Amino acid sequence: MMVREHYSLREWNTFGTEAKARWFAEFSRHSELAGFLREHPGMYRQILVVGGGSNLLFTADYPGLVLHPAMKGMTVEREDGEHAWVRAGAGEVWDDFVSYAVNAGWGGVENLSLIPGCVGAVPVQNIGAYGREAGEVIDSVRGVDLVTGEIWELSGAECWFGYRSSIFKQELAGRFVVTSVVFRLDKHPRLQLTYGELVSLAGYDRLPSLAEVRETVIAVRRKKLPDPAVLGNAGSFFKNPVVEEEWAARMKGLWPQMPLYPAVEGHAKLSAGWLIDQCGWKGFRRGDAGVHEHHALVLVNHGHATGREIFDLSQEIRFSVKEKFGIDLEREVQAVGRMD
Ligand X SMILES: Cc1cc2nc3c(=O)[nH]c(=O)nc-3n(C[C@H](O)[C@H](O)[C@H](O)COP(=O)(O)OP(=O)(O)OC[C@H]3O[C@@H](n4cnc5c(N)ncnc54)[C@H](O)[C@@H]3O)c2cc1C
Question: Can you give the binding site for ligand X, defined by CB under 6 A?
Answer: 14, 48-56, 69, 90, 115-118, 120-122, 124-125, 127-129, 168, 177-178, 225, 228, 233-235, 334
Least Cβ distance, residue 256 to ligand X (angstroms): 28
- Shortest distance, position 119 Cβ to ligand X, whole Å: 8
Minimum distance between the CB of residue 265 and ligand X, rounded to whole angstroms?
Answer: 22
At 132, the amino acid letter reads R
- The Cα–Cα gap between 185 and 105 comes to 9
Residue with smaller CB distance to ligand X, 157 or 173: 173
- What radius of gyration do the chain's Cα atoms show? 20
**Phi and psi of 25, rounded to 5°?**
-150, 150
User: Is residue 311 within 8 Å of 56, Cβ to Cβ?
Assistant: no
d(CA 260, CA 238): 16
Angle at 196 between CA 124 and CA 233, to 5 degrees: 50
Q: Name the phi and psi angles at 3, rounded to 5.
A: -105, 125
Residue pair 19/307 in contact (Cβ under 8 Å)? The answer is: yes
> For residues 211 and 316, what is the distance between their CA atoms, to the nearest angstrom?
41
Smallest separation (angstroms) from ligand X to the CB of 112: 7
Angle at CA of residue 211, ends 207 and 215, nearest 5°: 105
Q: Smallest distance, Å, CB 206 to ligand X?
A: 27
Active site (catalytic) residues: 164, 236, 332
The number of C-alpha atoms within 13 Å of 296 and in the hemisphere containing its C-beta is 16
What are the phi and psi torsion angles at 97 (to 5°)? -65, -45
Do 178 and 168 touch, CB atoms closer than 8 A? yes
